[in-house]
Amino acid sequence: MAYHFIIIDDNKIDLLVAFKAIEMSHIEHGDIHQFQSGTDALAFIKTYKPKQKVIMLVDIQMPVMNGFQFMDEFEALPAKTKKLFHCMFLTSSSNDIDRLRAQKYPSIKSFLNKPFTSEVVAGIIKNLPA
């Protein structure tokens, strides 16, 4: 099954790195949407009607709306919308407090550390529930 991807990261470099890593992982994938802010991503998600499941990678430290604030908004969306997404934090933070805080969000399925590589992509796909 092919997945769509949404990547949210304020850093353009990391967006591109993630994009390339997905492309080069040889997994079958659908669209790859990239957003530099949580606000833009939310606006998109609210009208998004994907045919397949979506893997969403969210950076934590971002200006204006950080990853946690983004997930607060996301968790408030209707359950019907939320169940289309597998959400994960993707961060350079190795901070335990961030990790603990991430557990508060039912929609967050994993906590990934950067760098994001093709191996990580393969690992995500392998571990997803069918």
Partner 1 sequence: MSNPLKKIRILFVDDEINNLHAFKAAFRFDYDITVAQSASEAETWLEQNEVDLILCDQRMPGKTGVEFFSSILKKHPKPIRILVTGYTDIESVIKAINLGHVFRYINKPWNEAEIRSSIEEAYRYYTQSHQLESKVTELTRAYNALDGFAYSVSHDLKGPLMSIMGAINIVNNSPDKNQKNVSLMLELIEKAAVHLNEFIENMHVYYRNNRGELKIEPVNLEDLKSELLSIHGITCHQQNISLTINCENTTEFFRTDVTKLKVVINNLVSNALKYQRAGEVNKYVDVQMRVIDENLIIHVKDNGMGIPDEYLQNIFELFFRATTEVSGSGFGLYNVKEIVTTLGGKINVESKLNSGSTFTVNLPCK
**Widest Cα–Cα separation across the chain:** 36
Query: For partner 1, what does the binding mask look like between residues 20 and 59, x meaning CB under 8 A?
Result: xx--x-----------xx----------------------
Q: Euclidean distance between the first and final Cα of the chain, in Å?
A: 9
Does 114 help bind partner 1 (rule: CB under 8 A)? yes
User: To the nearest whole angstrom, how small is the minimum distance from the Cβ of residue 20 to partner 1?
Assistant: 5
Tell me, what amino acid is at 6?
I
Q: Which is nearer to partner 1, 81 or 93 (CB)?
A: 93
From CA 54, how far away is CA 2, in angstroms rounded? 9
Does 110 help bind partner 1 (rule: CB under 8 A)? no
From CA 125, how far away is CA 130, in angstroms rounded? 10
- The H or E element that residue 100 is part of is helix 96-102
User: To the nearest whole angstrom, how small is the minimum distance from the Cβ of residue 90 to partner 1?
Assistant: 10
Among 6, 55, 58, 62, binds partner 1 (CB under 8 A): 62
Name the phi and psi angles at 84, rounded to 5: -80, -10
Using CB under 8 A as the binding criterion, the count of chain residues that bind partner 1 stands at 27
User: Which parts of this chain interact with partner 1 (CB under 8 A)?
Assistant: 10-14, 16-18, 20-21, 24, 36-37, 61-64, 92-95, 113-118
